[in-house]
Structures are given as C-alpha cells and as structure tokens.
Structure 1
Amino acid sequence: EFAKGTEGSTANITPSFTQFSNSPIIIKDKYSISGSDTAQIGWVEVATEAGTSGFLWYLKAEGETRLRFEDYLEMSVVEGELADAAGGFATNQALVPGFSATINGKGTEGLFAAIEDRGNVYTNADSGGTGAGSGIAEFDVILKQLDTQGAIEENMLFLDRDTNLAFDDMLANISSGSNGGTAYGLFENSEEMALNLGFSGFRRGSYDFYKTDWKYLNDISTRGGMDDIDGVLIPAGTSTVYDQILGSNIRRPFLHVRYRASQADDRRMKSWITGSVGGAATSDLDAMEVHFLSERCLCVQAANNFVLFTSSPVV
C-alpha cells in the first residue's frame, strides 16, 4: 500500500533462475581379427540376440561386440556419475589413455545420479502393505510431494519384479470386489477363463500412472542381483526449453539423450573399419579392426518431478 501523493515504487524485483548442465562422454570399443584367422574358415551355427540365426563365421564375434557396445551406451546414461576429486576414477585416471594428472575426466550425470541430486528418493516404500488402504496411504505421500513440484498429470513407473507385484497387491487390496479374485482380470473374469491378476495403470487423485517391468532391474547381468534400486517414476510428455545452439525454444521429452553432431561429423553412433583385411585398405596392419564410438549424455529435465524408489540408502 502507498500513501496519497507519494512517488512510485523504489523496489525492484529481479527474477532468478537456476541453470543445469551435463557433459557428454566419449565411449569407444573395438573388434579385431587377424588376416590368418579370417582365412581359416570355420562355420558355426548360431542364434544371436538380434534375432538372426544361421551359419556365421567371425562376424558372429563382431556382432556381439556391437551389441555389447550398444549396451554400454544405454548403461552409461543410466549409471553415469560425475567424476569426484576423491573418487576412484580421479585417483586412477592416469591409467586411462588420454587422461593424466593435468587432463581430468569429468564423467557424466546419469539417470539415477540426476534423481538423487535433484529429484525425489523414497527408501523402502511399502506400496504392497497388507490391509485395504495401507499401501496406498504411503503412496499418497509421494503424490503430495508431486503436488509441490510440477504436478504433471501422466507418469510412467518402471519397476523391478518385486515392486511391480507390490503395486498389484496394493491396488487389489483397495478394490472393493477383490475378494475371491473377481474384481479385475481378463475375459470379464469368467471362471472358465484365465484371470489377469495384474494392473497396467491406475489413477489416483489428479494423476495417471502407467507401470511396467523394467528388464534392466530384473536381469541378473545388470542390476537384477543388486537389489538396491526398486524402480523409477518418470513424467510423460514434453517441456519447453531454450536451446543455446539453435537459439530458439524447443520442446523436448523430460528424459532424452543428446549427442554431438554437425554437418561434418555425427557422433551419435560411429563405426568404421581399418587395417588391410575384410575389404579395408587403410594401413599395412594384417588384421581387420572394427571401431565403435559415440559421444553423448542424458538430459533429465524437471528432475524434481522424478522419483527413485530404493531398498536401501544409495551410497
């Protein structure tokens, strides 16, 4: 309020903003086979992870190297960590080609690290508590936290097997007709047909949730044997951000991968052959070398709307 006959306001409101950034990392791999081995033909009948089958030769090993490299690309943006001055990489970076005591590695912030730093972490959430409403009451705590953030209506739940089943139990416990297993299912729950005792989605409050198993958390070769992360909640849709390179506003998914690219070079996924074997004639090396390279990072926009479910405090 201002008194009569006074001058205008002398106060000035200056908006502030917080800028987040992430650094791409360079990932490399290589497959090599000598000229002598390529000339010693030995056909093997195989079935690859890519779904192909038949009789292959050394290309079988090259294909597996490519698949392993693609796994590295995905895991790097999920498990990536920024290099800590006191961490293991900083201590041993001199052993990595290209780094030294004066050339430091920066690392990259992956999905889990971004949520731990800027998002919401819930430990030992009892979503499958026994008794009607016991699990949903704890889940409502998460909803109230989302209300204080962006309150994004549609969200995806990527869960491990135990947590996914716990959500099914939670939803079954609050279903008024679930006694006898007839409140939900397949083929109208006919007694002569199969029952579908799972839920693919639900609505609570003003939010829609769609859930699915995340193989990465179940497979024993990845995180299936670690039992420290139970799942993640990721908002669906897009948000508008300003792109400094393009100089304009663009719409991007809340979770997306950025990579270095220009008219001269696209580093999203590069592959080339060197040596003097297998059709290549780039050097006098009596071998064929297949090189793989990518330079990328993960962008987690509005991380305050993400939720990480853990079984124990993440170290």
Structure 2
Amino acid sequence: MFVYGSEFKKGTNGMDGSYDADFAAKENNPIILKEKYEVSGSELAHIGWVEVTTENGASGYLWYLKSEHESRLRFEDYMELAMVEGVPAASGSAAASAGFKGTKGLFYEVENNGNVTSGTIDARLDLEDIAKVLDKEGAIQENVMFVNRGTGFDIDKVLAAQNNFGSSGASYGLFDNDEDMALNLGFSGFRIGYDFYKSDWKYLNDASTRGNIGGVDGIIVPAGTMTVYDQVLGQNAQRPFLHVRYRQSASEDRKYKNWVTGSAGSAGMSSDLDAMQVHFLSERCLVTMGANNFILMQ
C-alpha cells in the first residue's frame, strides 16, 4: 500500500498514535592486525650491503633494513586487504568458536547491504540500467567506478560507439584533434543520468590477489561526503562514504603502532633476546556509509 497522506472529518479529534521513524543501527567489528620482523644480533654484526629497488619506488643500498622494509610494506598491504576482503566469522565455525569475530570488508558489506549486478557491459542500455538502480537509492550525482581491465575495456567500447565519428575515423578527444599527439582510446569519465569517473583498479587485475580469485569485476562508489553525528566528537561531522575507523584514546592510538624490542641493534636492552624485533600493530575496521548507494559488479 502506498500512503501519501490522510484525511480527517471536520470537528474530529487528533490522530491516534504517533509516527515513529524506523531506526536501523549498523555496526562493524574492528580487528587487530599484527606483523613482526626479527634479525639476530649476529646478522646485525655481519654487514652485507645489497642494492635494491622496492615496491614504493625507493632504491639504493640497504643492509638488514631491506627485509624490515619489506615486512613493513607487507603489513600495510594486509591492512588494506583486510578492509576490502574481510568477512565476519560464520556462526558455529571454528573461528567463531575460538573467539574470533572477523570484520565486514567492502565487498561483503556491499554484497549484503548494497546492490549487485552481474554480466558484461555490452551496450549503452547496460549503463542506463546502472543509472536506474541509483535512481531507486540515494541518487548521488557523482560516482567512481573502480573496475578490472576487462570491464574497463568493455565500457570504453560502449562509449566509443556513442561517437558518430568513431566508426569511420579517429577521434583525438582531449588532444585537441592534434594528430601528432598520442591517440587516447580510453575514457576516464562519462555522464548517463549521473556523473561516472572510471578508474582501473590494479588489485582486481593482480594475478597474486583478486585477479587470480576472480568473482569481482568492479565496484561503484559514491563520491563526496555525508553528514553524520559522531559520538566521539559529540557533534555532526562530515565523513566520506567510505573510510576507516581506528581504536584510539587519550593514552593509546592503535591506528599504526610500531615498536622495537630485544637486546640487539636499535632495540637497546628491553629484553635478554639476542635479536632485534620490529613489531607492527593496527586495530581498525571499514565504515561503509549508505551501502545502498554502492554497486558491486560481478
């Protein structure tokens, strides 16, 4: 039944009862992530320089710090992956019985509380269907599409077909029709009812991660912020639709902890262990506000 209002007779009493807005509380469990790097005192004293180039572009000659640096990068990757791929521990599972709760990652949250599309994007109609889904939800004007390589190419083909000149010649687009400049065959954004900005997500193509697992072709994330009441601050605050929350107090900040123990190297004499141990810790969870505005592409 579609209720659009109510009518009362003249001279009658007020309405019986009251109108109470529905309230749905969403929650997520922060998880503790840890990593450790250890090098013995003997290895610290055995100097051997190695020329390296790391993932983040750093280069030069490193000693034992090469392994420590890679441990740090690996831990930072874990922190990001846990927020994307995390799932709650299933009821009755061995993990739940052992006291682990898990966390709701991006894919899990959108799959269960957002929108899911399947199939390939072969025509303009497929993009229009996405816009129609947004019409039924928050109708947020600007959205970002993080897609794998195949889906990105499919979208480019559909958009290129909308160009009347595209079927018989070359369109130089952003290059001011200068034939001496490189021809851009891709599209970074388009408008079909809403503004979409397309970006290739390396993670979905990486053969060592989701590119090998498959199952996700992309995800559409609303751009901008939402006004919410922050219980910690005690006031309204602007928050991105997608952000990470951390455990923190006046005396403890668990966003990214890093400390050294042992009796070797820069550890000082914090224990009788003949080694240097570098510890990493973070306690965090992902906040997906308005998951109904997200679309998971499978």
C-alpha distance in structure 2 between counterparts of 1:140 and 1:58, whole Å = 55
* Correspondence for 2:116 among 115, 121, 127: 121
Aligned residues: percent identity? 56
AA aligned opposite 1:143: A
AA aligned opposite 1:59: L
- Aligned residue for 2:213, secondary structure, equals coil
Q: Structure 1 residues 180, 191: closer, same or farther in 2, change over 3 A?
A: farther
C-alpha distance in structure 2 between counterparts of 1:108 and 1:227, whole Å = 21
Quote the residue 1:33 is aligned against. Answer: 39
AA aligned opposite 1:187: F
In the TM superposition, what is the alpha-carbon distance from 1:2 to its structure 2 partner? 2.2
C-alpha distance in structure 2 between counterparts of 1:227 and 1:189, whole Å = 38
Q: Structure 1 residues 8, 300: closer, same or farther in 2, change over 3 A?
A: same
Quote the residue 1:72 is aligned against. Answer: 78
C-alpha distance in structure 2 between counterparts of 1:161 and 1:237, whole Å = 25
- Aligned residue for 1:189, secondary structure, equals coil
AA aligned opposite 2:156: D
In the TM superposition, what is the alpha-carbon distance from 1:278 to its structure 2 partner? 0.9
Deviations 1:224-250 (A, max 9, x none): 222211000000000011122222211
Quote the residue 2:55 is aligned against. Answer: 49
Q: Is the 8 A contact 1:186 1:194 kept in 2?
A: no
AA aligned opposite 2:277: E
Pairing 1:75-114 to 2, within 5 Å after superposition: 75-87=81-93, 89-90=95-96, 100=98, 104-114=99-109
C-alpha distance in structure 2 between counterparts of 1:122 and 1:217, whole Å = 16
Q: Is the 8 A contact 1:254 1:300 kept in 2?
A: yes
- Aligned residue for 1:279, secondary structure, equals helix
Q: Is the 8 A contact 1:260 1:267 kept in 2?
A: yes
AA aligned opposite 1:264: S
Q: Is the 8 A contact 2:127 2:192 kept in 1?
A: no
Q: Is the 8 A contact 1:202 1:208 kept in 2?
A: yes
Quote the residue 1:142 is aligned against. Answer: 130
The CA RMSD measured in Å over matched residues stands at 1.5
Q: Is the 8 A contact 2:148 2:202 kept in 1?
A: yes
* Correspondence for 1:251 among 220, 238, 251: 238
Quote the residue 1:290 is aligned against. Answer: 278
C-alpha distance in structure 1 between counterparts of 2:227 and 2:171, whole Å = 41
- Aligned residue for 1:256, secondary structure, equals strand
Structure 2, unpaired ranges of 5+: 1-6
AA aligned opposite 1:137: L
C-alpha distance in structure 1 between counterparts of 2:208 and 2:168, whole Å = 38
Q: Is the 8 A contact 1:176 1:183 kept in 2?
A: no
In the TM superposition, what is the alpha-carbon distance from 1:183 to its structure 2 partner? 3.6
* Correspondence for 2:210 among 223, 244, 247: 223
In the TM superposition, what is the alpha-carbon distance from 1:27 to its structure 2 partner? 0.3
Q: TM-score, normalised by structure 2?
A: 0.94
In the TM superposition, what is the alpha-carbon distance from 1:192 to its structure 2 partner? 4.1
Quote the residue 2:254 is aligned against. Answer: 267
Deviations 1:256-300 (A, max 9, x none): 000011120111000000000112210111000000000000000
In the TM superposition, what is the alpha-carbon distance from 1:186 to its structure 2 partner? 4.6
C-alpha distance in structure 2 between counterparts of 1:228 and 1:181, whole Å = 36
Quote the residue 2:222 is aligned against. Answer: 235
AA aligned opposite 2:297: F
Q: Is the 8 A contact 2:52 2:59 kept in 1?
A: yes
In the TM superposition, what is the alpha-carbon distance from 1:184 to its structure 2 partner? 4.6
In the TM superposition, what is the alpha-carbon distance from 1:12 to its structure 2 partner? 1.5
